[in-house]
Structure 1
Amino acid sequence: MADMQEVLERQEQETRERMRGRAASKRAQRELDEQLGIAVALLEEENQGRRGSREGRRPNVDRHRHSREQKFTAVIRMLVYGSSADQVDEIARMGKSTVLESLVRFCDAVETLYTRDYQRRPTPRDLQQLLQKAES
């Protein structure tokens, strides 16, 4: 009977640890999403000044610009397939300079977002978490 009690207690403890791990994982994901939003907002704000956008001006609605999705697709195509800007600009019908500028902006955003967490030496806590993740 005592063995059964120990088994039940161990199961309860493991369940609590898993729940804590899930909560920590969700919390980390929320923080990561928030950081991504902040990084993108900062980059857009920084680039507003360079693009000649001023307060009081109407948005340039009738100009033919490429959407964010088109630029993102071109950047991903370059990174995934190892394509050159010339190859992508023919497919996406964008100028070479637009494709390259989008690539630089995307890489800057990724670097800004992940530098603090992933381009540093792992702490003992990080190593412990990796070992625990590998065990499960």
Structure 2
Amino acid sequence: MIGSIDCMHWQWKNCPTALQGDYGNRKGQKSIILEAVAGFDTWVWHVFFGVAGAQNDLNVLSQSPVFNDVLIGQDPNITYQVNNTVYQTGYYLADGIYPRWTTFVKFIPNLQSQKQKLFATYQEGYMKDVERCFGILQARWLIIRGAARMFDEEIL
């Protein structure tokens, strides 16, 4: 596993009037979205920040460079084995909103067996890694916890 992928909204208090239509979120607030891929040890593998017009994770993913290396054939050299099958590509734990790509592992709907329930419990725990990473970032750099006060995207 490379890590868990998710997005967080950072409220933009002093968003310029000309940009307010692009940076409005579903709650009517102005915000910039931070996309991150974080590992179990809160190591951040990827960050993409400041997407205009992004209301959800899919819009951010469509503009994000997270898979650019994979598309040009320079993906990370990862080898692992599951049930005597060797895999050469990494995968990301993702929410249900992400598309059905082979690189995303999402929750199993309609859990039936005890084995599936145990797997879902562990997967849910590892999916919290990126949320924990966002919490650490907000605790360490207080500016991220509060609303952004700058006027210019470049300065943010």
Normalised TM-score (structure 1): 0.35
Structure with greater proportional strand content: 2
Structure with greater proportional helix content: 1
Normalised TM-score (structure 2): 0.32
Structure with greater contact order relative to length (CA < 8 Å, sep ≥ 6):
2
